Amino acid sequence: MALKYRFIVLDGVEGAGKSTQIARLADALREMGEDVLVTVEPGGTPVGSAIRQILLSPEHEIAPLTEIFLFCASRAQHCEEVIRPAVEAGQVVLCDRFSAATFAYQGYAGEAGEELVVRLDAEATRGLVPDMTVILDLPPEAGMRRKFSGDSLDAADRIERNALAYHQRVHEGFHRHARRYPERTAIVDASGSEDEVFARICGVLGLNT
């Protein structure tokens, strides 16, 4: 079966299983004969990786506007250097986080505001939007337990260390993004086994499992 979408994003709250499911999806698409590029945000380029270290380091206190500018700077480089050329070359691009995350984290849960985030993101992407964003839906408290099996958050990055109330707003922000862009966003239940979640993702993408 031919794949309908060429630029696919998996997003969601912390611990929702994005990385695991992207790896599985990449393997499945390669078995179908697709040329697949897997990438991540923030990051995906040398410039983006350097910005990622700044954004996620617990050592930094970053003002809300600085945070959104850094995310958009990373995305601008990512789109220009990696994503747009890959899509134009006929590859399938699978990205771990993209615009929906910025909308939910910095726009809705943070202090930057939704409309500012939408405007800056449009400038950063120069109109490049995913064909489909799959939001893996999980209660934030369950995601944090899944990601941090112990009580300690010593291994958590700067954003993960925010209070549960912040992550609950992020969760709401993802749903708000899905309502705003229903034609290119799907909410997928991320509870259950990896196989069950993968089958749901494949169903959204129109793939046989």
User: Which residue(s) pair with 37 in the sheet?
Assistant: 93
Per-residue pLDDT reduced to its tens digit, 125-145: 999 999 999 999 999 888 888
> What is the reported pTM?
0.93
Q: What is the pLDDT of residues 169-202, one digit of tens each?
A: 999 999 999 999 999 999 999 999 999 999 999 9
Sign of CA dihedral 30, 91, 181, 39: positive
The answer to whether residue 103 scores a pLDDT higher than 70 is yes
Contacts of residue 74, defined as CB under 8 A and 6 or more positions apart, other chains included, come to 41, 42, 43, 44, 45, 47, 48, 51, 52, 55
Q: Are strands 132-137 and 185-189 parallel, antiparallel or unpaired?
A: parallel
The token duo for 5 is: 């979408």
Q: Which helix (H) or strand (E) holds 134?
A: strand 132-137
User: 70 near 88, Cβ under 8 Å?
Assistant: no
pLDDT value of position 77: 98
156 pLDDT band, cuts 50/70/90, is confident
CA-nearest of 20, 173, 14, 40 to 100 is: 173
Among 107, 176, 85, which Cα is nearest to 187's?
176
Topology of domain 7-205, CATH: Rossmann fold (3.40.50)
**Dihedral sign computed on CA atoms, order 163, 167, 168, 172:** positive
pLDDT for 208: 77
Region of residue 52 (left: phi > 0; alpha: psi -120 to 50; beta: else): alpha
Q: Which residue has the higher pLDDT, 208 or 86?
A: 86
Instruction: Summarize the confidence of residues 139-166 as an average pLDDT.
Output: 79
**If DSSP codes are grouped into helix, strand and coil, which group holds residue 95?**
strand
Encoding tokens for residue 139? Answer: 């209660």
How much of the chain, in percent, has pLDDT values that exceed 90?
A: 81
